[in-house]
């Protein structure tokens, strides 16, 4: 395998932070709250498609990338000016499970450019932004990259072949400080060092094109909190009582969470039927409807 500089252009990690669910204190200045939320993007839950990552995936456009869900497949598309830009998502680390975890995801590669890759994010360290990528290309290649202080390095490469309209399943298994990599059920390689057996798990994509993800799984399960746990936590960290919050959501899971917590909900997104069916108002298509949303916030005040 040629060195990275001869194989594909290295990814550009411009990602500033992971997405987080947010609650809005009523007495925050409304326009600032709306600007913050529109920057975070809209979220939906795809429990059968992306498992514990569901609450961290955005729908719509964020930082040059767009996200959408069709038939339990989460599609990411790089619309940024940098064709080598990278986007990743990760769950909360379950430290008690370090060294004995598995993770897997299925990748649809037919809409990816030849130099693009998508797959698993492994061992993400938030403090140093170091991690591994175990990713697939449209030609059936399975590559492993290490991102550390020296940038991106191609560690190993193999191939399982690509079939039209068929996803490639990538899987990793930990055994202490040993990591086994599989694709479509076939063991490809195994590595071991002191960076294995820790860090966060998730998915990643880099390059141009459209990347499809489905059937993301982790075992043991991550420590990613449920929505009804995220909202009080966000309020506590902002030093405001939960009773002064209004929740913006776009899915049935949001309706359920706001009901359980007994806080107001403003519906956002392209699924108004979910809210009308349960007689939940108000609902807006997106955050561009600034004046009506501000009026709704004031009514809850």
Cis peptide before 177 (omega within 30 of 0): no
Q: Whole-prediction pTM value?
A: 0.67
Q: Which DSSP letter does residue 8 get?
A: S
Return the pLDDT at 147: 95
Question: What pLDDT was estimated at residue 276?
Answer: 79
DSSP 144-190: EEEEETTEEEEEEEEE----TT-PEEEEEEEETTEEEEEETTEEEEE
Q: Measured over all CA atoms, what is the biggest interatomic distance in the chain, rounded to whole angstroms?
A: 62
The confidence score (pLDDT) of residue 48 equals 47
pLDDT for the residue numbered 9: 60
Burial class (CB in 10 A: 0-12, 13-18, 19+), 32: exposed
pLDDT at 224: 58
Give yes or no for a contact between 200 and 126, defined as CB atoms under 8 angstroms apart: yes
**Strand, coil or helix: what is 193?**
coil
The helix/strand/coil state of 19 is coil
Q: How far apart are CA 43 and CA 269, in angstroms?
A: 9
What confidence score (pLDDT) does residue 8 get? 53
Tell me, what DSSP letter sits at residue 235?
Answer: H
Low-confidence ranges of the chain (pLDDT < 70): 1-10, 16-48, 221-227, 301
């Amino acid at each position: 395998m040629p060195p990275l500089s001869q194989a594909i252009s290295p990814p550009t990690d411009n990602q500033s932070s992971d997405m987080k669910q947010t609650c809005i204190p009523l007495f925050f200045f409304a326009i600032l709250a709306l600007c913050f939320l529109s920057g975070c993007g809209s979220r939906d839950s795809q429990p059968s498609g992306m498992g514990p990552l569901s609450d961290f995936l955005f729908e719509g456009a964020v930082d040059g990338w767009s996200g959408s869900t069709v038939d339990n497949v989460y599609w990411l598309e790089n619309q940024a000016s940098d064709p080598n830009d990278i986007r990743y998502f990760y769950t909360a680390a379950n430290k008690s499970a370090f060294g004995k975890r598995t993770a897997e995801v299925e990748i649809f590669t037919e809409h990816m450019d030849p130099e693009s890759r998508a797959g698993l994010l492994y061992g993400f360290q938030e403090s140093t932004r170091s991690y591994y990528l175990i990713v697939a290309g449209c030609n059936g290649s399975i590559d492993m990259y290490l991102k550390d202080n020296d940038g991106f390095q191609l560690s190993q490469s193999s191939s399982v072949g690509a079939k039209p309209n068929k996803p490639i399943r990538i899987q990793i298994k930990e055994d202490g400080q040993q990591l086994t990599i599989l694709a479509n059920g076939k063991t490809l390689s195994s590595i071991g060092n002191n960076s294995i057996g820790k860090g966060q798990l998730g998915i990643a994509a880099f390059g141009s094109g459209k990347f499809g993800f489905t059937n993301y799984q982790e075992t043991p399960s991550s420590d990613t909190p449920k929505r009804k746990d995220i909202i009080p936590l966000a309020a506590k960290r902002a030093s405001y009582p939960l009773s002064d919050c209004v929740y913006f959501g776009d899915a049935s899971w949001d309706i359920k969470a706001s009901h359980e917590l007994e806080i107001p909900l403003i519906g956002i997104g392209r699924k108004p039927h979910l809210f009308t069916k349960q007689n939940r108002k108000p609902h807006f298509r997106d955050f561009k409807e600034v004046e009506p949303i501000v009026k709704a916030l004031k009514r809850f005040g």
